[in-house]
């Protein structure tokens, strides 16, 4: 066996796999708390649109392959994004789009550039392709895009930007992204990951269509896992030039998104009321949690996402375990080089109050 592993592709043997949040079932099995609140994976606490749930029960064709081109969903996304059908690709979660782009452009002779503390999947897909990771120091926890160009090497083929970033919640303005795109050679693919797009309430945030019409080396990714509450169905999408979408479609598996996910996403994207309610809940509860955490002496990183990372007078790994015993699942983020920090997802009012109550008891 060890002989076999000697022939692993470059990068894979040292790869640190993604660590998902603990599940409710695991915590019940291990600690059996009276109640469990999961605030660990940046999911929508309101769940998906009721219309999306209703649509799932009507599907009688599970024996048939899904539409491999996701035509109905792509038409609705085209309308929602004011973009052409041919500029859209559907993925098994937006992570799949990140992976497809990495496979298309990265290999053992190339490098990819990303910020320190950026979303973990960028490193994984880069390393899995045997490619070098160029990590740019962060500025006040955020992506310092002004120093990206000087870190570019001749070998650089891809640049990853999470906006807002997970786990820091920091974001970059339209102007910062535009200026970076201007400076980078058009031979570098810029992946702008907008998984938390809807939660941003800053006026100078990115204008996706403006950027896409200006730059052919741009791939924007979005997801149905966050605001749309469909994380378990695994569906996301990418937006780019016809040419780039054509390349990614060549290496995509023919039926990468299943029929139930496509159907639910079609209903979710049309339920503007549910999206609005989810945005409003997140905005008010994000403010509430930020203030409450600050009031009890925690140092919070201002967030434009549906989560807050904070540190305080505690050991993050111990706090994570102590809260879990009390039925509150949060996320330690040592893997992001933030060993003192805990990330908490913004929940419903009840969930947030329960989290704060247990946090105060545990930290004391």
Residues that bind ligand PLP (CB under 6 A): 42, 93-95, 119, 162, 166, 193, 195, 223, 225, 231, 236
Q: How far is the CB of 240 from ligand PLP (least distance, A)?
A: 16
CA distance 240 to 38: 35
* Between 264 and 356, CB nearer to ligand PLP: 264
Choose between 119 and 314: whose C-beta lies nearer to ligand PLP: 119
Of 95 and 257, which has the nearer Cβ to ligand PLP?
Answer: 95
Report the nearest approach of ligand PLP to the CB of residue 290 (Å). Answer: 19
Q: How far is the CB of 221 from ligand PLP (least distance, A)?
A: 7
Give me 166's structure tokens.
């997970």
Q: Which residue number, 76 or 227, has a Cβ lying nearer to ligand PLP?
A: 227
Backbone torsion region of residue 130, taken as left when φ is above 0, otherwise alpha when ψ lies between -120 and 50, otherwise beta: left
Residue number with CB closer to ligand PLP (90 or 356): 90
> Residue 157: CB partners within 8 Å, gap ≥ 6?
105, 106, 110, 111, 112, 131, 187, 188, 189
Nearer to ligand PLP, 42 or 111 (CB): 42
When CB distances to ligand PLP are compared, the closest residue is 93
Instruction: Give the three-class secondary structure for 344.
Output: strand
Q: H or E segment at 283?
A: helix 272-295
Least distance CB 177 / ligand PLP (angstroms): 15
Q: How far is the CB of 363 from ligand PLP (least distance, A)?
A: 26
Which CB, 231 or 275, lies closer to ligand PLP? 231
Residues 6+ apart with CB under 8 A from 149: 180, 183, 184
Contacts of 298 (CB under 8 A, 6+ apart): 310, 311, 312
* Nearest approach, Cβ of residue 16 and ligand PLP (Å): 16
R_g of the chain computed on alpha carbons:
21
The neighbour count for residue 21, using CB atoms within 10 Å, is 18
CB 126 within 8 A of CB 107: no
**What is the nearest approach in angstroms of ligand PLP to the Cβ of residue 253?**
15
- What is the DSSP code (8-state) at residue 21? P
Helix (H, G, I), strand (E, B) or coil at 175: helix
């Amino acid at each position: 066996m060890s002989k076999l592993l000697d022939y692993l592709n470059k990068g894979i043997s040292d790869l640190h796999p993604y660590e998902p949040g603990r599940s409710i079932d695991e915590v019940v099995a291990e600690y059996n708390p009276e109640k469990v609140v999961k605030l660990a994976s940046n999911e929508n606490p309101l769940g998906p649109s009721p219309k999306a749930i209703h649509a799932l029960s009507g599907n009688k064709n599970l024996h048939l392959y899904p539409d491999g081109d996701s035509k109905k969903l792509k038409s609705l996304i085209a309308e929602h994004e004011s973009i052409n059908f041919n500029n859209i690709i559907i993925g098994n979660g937006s992570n799949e789009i990140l992976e497809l782009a990495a496979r298309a452009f990265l290999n053992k002779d190339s490098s990819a550039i990303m910020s320190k503390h950026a979303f973990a999947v960028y490193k994984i897909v880069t390393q899995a392709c045997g490619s070098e990771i160029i990590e740019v120091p962060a500025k006040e926890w955020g992506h310092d895009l002004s120093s990206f160009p000087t870190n570019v090497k001749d070998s650089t083929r891809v640049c990853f930007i999470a906006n807002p970033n997970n786990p820091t919640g920091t974001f970059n303005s339209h102007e910062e992204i535009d200026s970076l795109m201007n400076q980078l050679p058009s031979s570098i693919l810029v992946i702008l990951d907008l998984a938390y797009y809807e939660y941003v309430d800053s006026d100078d945030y990115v204008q996706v269509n403006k950027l896409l019409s200006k730059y052919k080396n741009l791939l924007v990714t979005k997801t149905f896992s966050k605001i749309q509450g469909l994380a378990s169905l695994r569906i996301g999408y990418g937006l780019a030039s016809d040419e780039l979408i054509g390349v990614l479609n060549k290496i995509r598996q023919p039926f990468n998104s299943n029929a139930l996910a496509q159907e639910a996403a079609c209903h979710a994207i049309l339920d503007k009321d549910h999206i609005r309610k989810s945005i409003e809940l997140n905005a008010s509860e994000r403010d509430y949690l930020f203030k409450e955490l600050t009031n009890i002496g925690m140092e919070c990183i201002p967030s434009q996402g549906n989560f807050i990372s904070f540190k305080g007078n505690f050991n993050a790994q111990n706090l994570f375990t102590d809260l879990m015993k009390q039925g509150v699942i949060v996320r330690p983020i040592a893997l992001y080089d933030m060993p003192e920090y805990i990330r908490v997802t913004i929940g419903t009012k009840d969930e947030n109050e329960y989290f704060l109550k247990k946090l105060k008891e545990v930290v004391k």
